[in-house]
Structure 1
Amino acid sequence: MHSHELLKEVLKKTSAKQIAADMGLSLSLIYKWAEPLSDETGSGANNPLDRIEQLLRITNDERIAQWVCERSGGFFIRNPKARPHPFQLIPSTNSIVQEFADMLGVIAVAAADNQITKEEAKMIRRRWEDLKSVTEGFVREAEDGHFASLKGEAGKPAKPGA
């Protein structure tokens, strides 16, 4: 989905007048954000979403995405780049279990003295982010069907005479 398409959908639920007033911008600019850019034969304007995308591309710093996600009550997880071979289901599953165990280990050490310092909280957060990333990669691979062929391979009858 293009940014202007998303903003067009947002404006169906949120008042463009209210956005313009709250941001101190013209109503026409808000509506232009929901149109394709002029170089795409539209009359739109470079909108805030486009600018965030440019900033991410220029800086290559995912903390910007993390900041935006945190402001909306969420978190950022980078999508995995490598696609596992279907026979990597067990190792992929084991990775999630290991990441979870590592996170629990950090929590146990931090909580051993009945308090958690800011530095310990940062370590817990890092382990949690690692666990979420590994798990997201696994879920995406499952959704994309990369583990689907295992059933067919495991359930194949042996060839006669083999």
Structure 2
Amino acid sequence: MNRALRAAKENIDLLVTIAGAVGFGSVAAMAEDARQMIAEHPASCLLLTGAAAMLGYATARIVSARSAWAKRRRMDERLSAVFLGMSRRRKELVSRALDEGSVSLSPLDADALALCELGIFGTPPVGSMLTATDFSIRPAVIRAIAGHRSEWLA
């Protein structure tokens, strides 16, 4: 098995060329049959094409929705773990940022920078080290916190 796998890896260019030739040959052989069928049954082919397009669109919507749901679930699990181990001051900063829209802190504040590293606060634009910087929560994190605020920020 390993020998065959190694040979396939070494000759991948040749295998791709052969597969392409076989695929092109089969498409070229079917092209005449497809042209003849379309000429004899145009309405049926149009309906079949429309049905295939709708099926493809529905499949893409389902896959996209499931992917988005899984992504939100992973974010919720990650944020839950982050908030369980978070210090009281960081929770207060997040709560204040949710209530006020942003928190004005020093750009060198360790807790604000840690929340940026965790992906909770958005990274502010580069500014002066002498003036306060407004840190705000990313919109995706706001949506995730909205359902778990009492649990995570208690």
Would the TM-score normalized by the shorter structure come out above 0.5?
no
* Bigger helix share: 2
TM-score, normalising length from structure 1? 0.24
TM-score (norm 2): 0.25
Larger Rg: 2
